[in-house]
Each structure stands twice: as C-alpha cells, then as structure tokens.
Structure 1
Amino acid sequence: MYFLTCLFMLIVVMISVGFFTLLERKVLSYIQIRKGPNKVGYLGLLQPFSDGFKLFLKENIFPLNSNYLIYYLCPVFSLIQSLFIWCLFPYYINCVNFVFGMIFLLCCSSMSIYGLIVCGWSSNSVYSILGCLRSVSQAISYEVTISLILFFYFFLLNSYNIIDFCLFQSDIWFVFFSFPLFFSWLSCCMAETNRSPFDFSEGESELVSGFNIEYGGGGFAFLFISEYSSIIFMCMLTSLVFLGGNYYSFFFYLKIILLCFFFIWVRASLPRYRYDKLMYLAWKSYLPISLNYLFFFFLIKILIFYHFFL
C-alpha cells in the first residue's frame, strides 16, 4: 500500500511538471503580448503530453569524446534526486511522520549540485564545464543562507519535523515576523532551482545552455523534469514554512500555484544578474540578515529560559 501511494504521488508530480510548463508558456506569452500554445487539444491542454512524446521519441546522440556511461546515468541521477525529496510531502494516505525531515531535506538538496557537476564533466565540452563550475561557486554562496534560514525555524520550533510547521502556524504565519527572511528565501530558492535571474549554470546568452548543452531527447527531458519538479517542491516548502503550512486545506495548493506563478513572473520581468552580484547578494546581504535573526531569537530563548527556570 505504501509503495502504491508513493507511486501515485510521483505520477501526480510528473503530470504537474508537464502542466507547469504549459502554465509557464501561457503566462510568458500573455506577458509578451502574443499567443501561447493553443492548438494541441482544447486550449492547448494536451501540449505537455505532445512535448513529452516528442522528446522521448527523438534519436539519442552522444559526444564522441564523452564519458559514455556517466554521461547517460547523470540525468537519471538528477531525476531520482528531485523525485526522492518528495517523500517529505505530508500527504494523508499512509502519511509518513518524518521526525528528521528537514535534515533529510538539507542532505538531498545539497546532492543536486553533484548532478550538475558530473553532467558538465562527463560531456567533455568547454561550455558544459564552464556551466558546472559556475554552479559550484553559486551553490556555495546560497546554500549557506538556505541552511541558516532553516536552522532559524528549527531553533524556533525545537523540532526537525516538517508537520510541526502546520501546528505552530495556527495563530500567525511565520512570514509576518520574518518578512526579510521570506524574500531572502525566495531569492535563494530561485538560485537553488537555476531559475532567472540566477540561471548562471545554464546561461543561454553566454554559455549556450551551459551544463546540459550536449544533452538532447530523453536525457534533456530528465534534466528538465528534475528542474521543474524541484521548483514545485520549493514552492510547496515555502508554503509550508512561511504561509501557514496547513497542507490539508485547498488554500495550501492555491498558495503553491501562486508561488509557481511568481517564479514565472520573475523570469518574464527581470534580466539575468551579473555573476559577481549574486555572490555579493548572498554573502553581504542574505547571510548577515539570517545570522541576525538567528542570534536575536537565540538571545530571546535564553532570556525566557532564565526567567522561568532559574
């Protein structure tokens, strides 16, 4: 039963990735005052299935000087990593009460960088290696801030369980007393998922798609699915941590859709950052904000402890 429910959830995630791509193409077309996909099926609703069939039915080619086995296994590793992290989702049917869920989240999210590195290295291309090197230096900057923001809430809840975010936000959402952290978190989520304006590992204008330049057909589809499923997961996590976390209500899923729309809106509105500006933003702005919040609440909890127990 547990295997069937997990399989059902993964199928739903894959379908949601397909329709998220349709939503992105529709929103981008309306923002740019043009028509989006509207021919395949009613209002273009069958377009994601058409795109999926087209990618997987294409001929597989590989660079002659690439590391053949690793080159083919890397997209599968990225897909498994991005789908494996969804076992944290607290769904009701056969729900898993993951006591150390947020530690598991940090471990799995830090593994995503290995997929980019090995994809770039095994392709044996100059542009792919440049893309993976930029991914490494980018990851060092924002992963520290993401970890510190989550540590702040671990410390606040005295728990690593993701379900406790729902229990502790019954009266007030965490976004209201940690507003700067919320925007820092959103920026780091965009860098984590390689989205505009922080898509330096792909960088179409200067790296011609970066780390995945040598992939086409099924391999590119796996990388594409892993990236978009990570975006939906980060939107779900943002809704859990900051926006109430009541995963049993309809409004929880509405908030996820609005956050996905926000990711698309940012892509349509903002140009790509200069590379050194992300480093400056992560080390000089986001890191001091998260550290100040952490030390401030640490001091408050110490004062409360001394007042009540000593």
Structure 2
Amino acid sequence: IIWMFVPIFTPVLGITIGVLVIVWLEREISAGIQQRIGPEYAGPLGILQALADGTKLLFKENILPSRGDTRLFSIGPSIAVISILLSYSVIPFGYRLILVDLSIGVFLWIAISSIAPVGLLMSGYGSNNKYSFLGGLRAAAQSISYEIPLTLCVLSISLLSNSSSTVDIVEAQSKYGFWGWNLWRQPIGFIVFLISSLAECERLPFDLPEAEEELVAGYQTEYSGIKFGLFYVASYLNLLVSSLFVTVLYLGGWNLSIPYISVPELFEINKAGRVFGTIIGIFITLAKTYLFLFILSQQFLY
C-alpha cells in the first residue's frame, strides 16, 4: 500500500523542495555576483526566504481592476500554474517513480505546456491595461514560437530512442553510461533545447513579456497578493520542469554514469535493496537537475 503513494508524494515533495532551492540558489548567486550578502535571516543560510515571501503575499490584499474582466483576471494565474504542475506527471524521478508512464509522455508535456500561454493572455486581457495586454501577447507569441524547435528536439530524441515514453528514453541511455547520453548524440539539439527552454521560461535574455523598461511588469502589472505570487511560482516550476526534462532527455535520468551498470539492476536484490536503489535514483536525478540549474544560473542570470 505504501508503494502506491510513493509516486504521488515524491513529485509533491520534490516540487516543493525544488522551488525553495531554486529561489535560494538564484538569490545567492545574484548576491555573489553583485557582492551582496543575500538572504540570511529566514532559516539556516536563508533557505526559507521563499517560504517567508510566499506567506507575506498570502496575507496581502487582493486588488481587482475596476474595469477589467474579473473572471479572466482571476482564472489566468491558476491556468498557468496548473498546466505546469500537470507536466510533472510524466517525469520519472527514479526507476518506477512516475505518476503516468505513457507511450506519448514527452509530447503530452509539450501539449500541456502549450496551455500556459493561454492563461497569460487571459491575465493580460482581463487586466484592462495596455501594458498588461502587450505583455500577454508577447508571452503567448514567444511561447508558441519557441515550441516549434522544442518539439523538433524532442522528436529527434524519440527517434533515437525508438519511443516517446520518458522511461524508455532514460533506459535507452543506460547501456554505455556517461557516453550513452543523448547529449553526445545530439549536441546541436541540446543547445537548441536549452535556448528554447530559456525562452519558454522567460528567462534572460528572453524576458520580453516582462520587459520592465517598456512594459512595467508585463501581464503581472495589475496583480497583487497571492495571484501575483502564483506567477512567480509558475515561473520557477517551469524552470524546474525544463531542467528535469534536460536531465531525462539528454543526461541519462536516474542512471549512473558507469557503462553497463544500471541502478535497477544494481539494487534489485531484495525489498531493502529496491528501496535503497529508488532513493539513489532520485538523488542522481535531482543532483543532475540542480547541477544544470547552477550552471544555467551562472551563465544567464546577468
């Protein structure tokens, strides 16, 4: 019975910890670049600063635009967050640790992520603000534009792996260890996927929808309180999803980097061995993901 709930609790715990770590990592790196101290009061080393900021936004006043469409204004942030959360259902955090193992897993992720720009466009239109509407239009146009090269990269990986299942793609990279990663078989595709993911996440230098110099804060201009916080949650969730898919598609997923040694085969001895192997797989997946996030933050933060 316990194993039935493990695939559910693992993504929830991973998502929560992941967002906290990403926010802390970005603030610490930016503080180091700008020679500042950074967050240090909320929790050890400031790791709970994001939780403190979220609590603050939760109790702030929720202001609605007087002449805007309040229904679209309220639904928009929820659509953006929910569409990104659904993407986690096809991500394997470890061997047999996936909510839904579908034969079209990677393409389901692309289809689900295509819903998020609709929420951003609804938010911009419902705000009854020219800056918000322009930001929503830019966000939708940018997301749709970069989904085309993203889809081509995913299609090439599916052809190499003879499957569109995320689990099968990871297994196809396990035979030769480090040298079996799709990173070496598709180096140009990896670079294109990286650039497209940055554009999908609206990170620098692809921050046109939120260009502060010309659009104030883009589609977020009229938002406050928890709805304003939902946009930030969606942004960091999307960044974590993109990094996890980089790990799954190009960096071998949960497998070790040793040729002919697979995590499931190595620990498939008894029940205790399977539990330990599952924990090792989760650790390897998250280690690759956060290492990639660390490199990404250093290269593209400023």
What TM-score range do you get, normalising by the shorter chain?
A: 0.7 to 0.9
Which aligned segments of 4 or more residues in structure 1 are displaced greater than 3 angstroms? 1-5, 91-96
> Are 2:116 and 1:103 aligned?
no
- Structure 2 segments unaligned to the other structure (5+ residues): 256-280
Matches within 5 A, 1:59-208: 59-91=61-93, 92-93=96-97, 96-170=100-174, 171=176, 172-208=180-216
Checking the alignment, whether the CA contact within 8 Å between 1:190 and 1:263 is kept in structure 2 is no
Query: Taking structure 1 as reference, are residues 266 and 213 closer, same or farther at Cα in structure 2, changes over 3 Å only?
Result: farther
Matches within 5 A, 1:1-310: 2=4, 5-6=7-8, 9-91=11-93, 92-93=96-97, 96-170=100-174, 171=176, 172-246=180-254, 248=281, 250-269=283-302
Query: Taking structure 1 as reference, are residues 241 and 59 closer, same or farther at Cα in structure 2, changes over 3 Å only?
Result: same
Checking the alignment, whether the CA contact within 8 Å between 1:131 and 1:211 is kept in structure 2 is yes
TM-score (norm 2): 0.83
Give the CA deviation at 1:137: 2.5
**Helix, strand or coil: the match of 2:36?**
coil
Give the CA deviation at 1:142: 1.1
- Structure 1 segments unaligned to the other structure (5+ residues): 270-310
Give the CA deviation at 1:94: 6.9
- 1:212-245 Cα deviation digits (max 9, x unpaired): 1111110011111111111001100001111112
Distance 2:75 2:158 in 1: 35
Query: Taking structure 1 as reference, are residues 173 and 6 closer, same or farther at Cα in structure 2, changes over 3 Å only?
Result: same
Give the CA deviation at 1:4: 7.4
Distance 2:111 2:80 in 1: 14
TM-score (norm 1): 0.81
Partner AA of 1:241 in structure 2: L
**Helix, strand or coil: the match of 2:254?**
coil
Query: Taking structure 1 as reference, are residues 120 and 263 closer, same or farther at Cα in structure 2, changes over 3 Å only?
Result: farther
**Helix, strand or coil: the match of 1:201?**
helix
Distance 1:156 1:93 in 2: 23
Partner AA of 1:223 in structure 2: F
Partner AA of 1:157 in structure 2: S
- Count residues with an aligned counterpart: 269
Give the CA deviation at 1:139: 2.4
Checking the alignment, whether the CA contact within 8 Å between 1:14 and 1:229 is kept in structure 2 is no
Partner AA of 1:107 in structure 2: A
**Helix, strand or coil: the match of 1:163?**
helix
Give the CA deviation at 1:28: 0.5
Query: Taking structure 1 as reference, are residues 140 and 84 closer, same or farther at Cα in structure 2, changes over 3 Å only?
Result: closer
**Helix, strand or coil: the match of 1:18?**
helix
RMSD between aligned residues: 1.9
